[in-house]
Amino acid sequence: MSPHSRVRLRGHFAPPGDKSIGHRLVLLGAIADGRTRIEGFPPGADCGRTVDLVRSLGVEAEQQDATLEIEGVGLDGLRAPEQDLDAGNSGSTARMACGYLAPQPFESRIIGDESLSQRPIDRVVKPLAAMGASIETSGGRLPLTIHGGRELHGIDYELPIPSAQVKTALLLAGLRATGTTRVRETFPSRDHTEIALCGFGAEPVIEDGVVSLRRVARLSAGHFRVPGDFSSAAFFLTAAAFLPDSDLVVENVGLNPTRAALLDVLLDMGADIQVEPHETHDGEEPIGNIHVRGRELHGAVVRADKLPAMIDEVPILAVAAAFADGTTRVEGASELRVKESDRLAAIVEGLGALGADVATTPDGFVVKGGRQLSPATLRTYGDHRMVMAWAIASLGVDGDCTIDHLDQVKISYPGFWETLDYLAG
């Protein structure tokens, strides 16, 4: 590729719909009574896998541009799939589907691509088994088979590692389990599932880090607007924060505090950021605009309690740290080793190739910023977020970088390259 070296980012843009929210609305809309309308539906391949999954279960879903309409079949209306359910590269689809399908009266088999099939699934399967589910994995990984027809019961479960996907799987199973399902978190993970459940008429109780949900008789269809994906916007707003003379406005982006901890970290690093929240109603996802102007940043310490609310933004934070003055330390990031790639290893390898002073720690990494970075060949391991992070890193390098797997942005942000050209042009 020929990156935009020594550029500034200027202009206004709206990121695509939030991928995390899109998955949840599709799954719940499919088992609600009535027709659910989702506006601003994400365009990436991951959410497409979840739409394909509910279609394979007998649900009608029609998409026109960014609007998706789902004809819900009710809690007992899903049909046995005629073939394997292919999650592709989508960990969200695979993990949430485990809890979604566990109470059903039929058998289903979930498969994934090579990357997803290397990622652990037992952290979802084990608590579901404690609820009475029967799930057979391939050595703790995909493919897996869910043997339906089991009566599930609620459990009281403390997440050993913060994970919104595991929490979601348990709550989806809890919709049809007897008694109360409780999920306890040491640090709060993203709460899109809790918000979506309320939107469909369920009544989760959230108190002191515990989410409780009782079995429901029905869910009601609704009309939803998906805010812009903060994780997609993060690449550009972070670039604008450290590239001198940048002036960028991100419009209609999700501002859920369980997702937006990157903003707090960038502010700690000295970034010039103004957040302009929009008025929203109770039960709606917070949304607004973010205005960023470029300036010199300095290092910061990112503690483990911040990570659940910015886990997908760590690669782009690492890039900002390389251009900042001083030392940035990221702690509690071991979860990155089991993402679409070993992101900890990829971050350290890539920044090192660029000439940054970077080192791993037992649960994270340290970057000593301020060095002049040089063009390099950057490996992404087919990970969409690493592709976008290295594309942003190349903006501050004097010369051309080579980045592989450029097409992987299709997973979450198909329009990434067009947005980059527009803002850097």
Which residues are catalytically annotated? 312
User: Which secondary-structure segment (H or E) carries 326?
Assistant: strand 326-330
Q: How far is CA 62 from CA 37, 85, 92, 159, 411, in A?
A: 10, 19, 21, 36, 20
The residues near 139 (Cβ < 8 Å, ≥ 6 apart) are none
Check if the beta carbon of residue 241 is closer than 8 Å to that of residue 320.
Answer: yes
User: Sheet containing 134-136: which strands, arranged edge to edge?
Assistant: 85-86, 108-111, 144-147, 134-136
Could you tell me where the DSSP H helices lie in 71-121?
A: 91-101
Distance CA 147, CA 144 (A): 10
* CA dihedral sign, ordered 383, 387, 393, 397: positive
SS3 state at 388: helix
Residues 231-257: b if buried by 16+ CB within 10 A, e if exposed: bbbbbbbbbbbbbeebebbbbbbbbbe
Q: Is 304 exposed, middle or buried (0-12, 13-18, 19+ CB in 10 A)?
A: middle
Q: In this structure, are residues 321 and 350 in contact, taking their beta carbons and an 8 Å threshold?
A: no
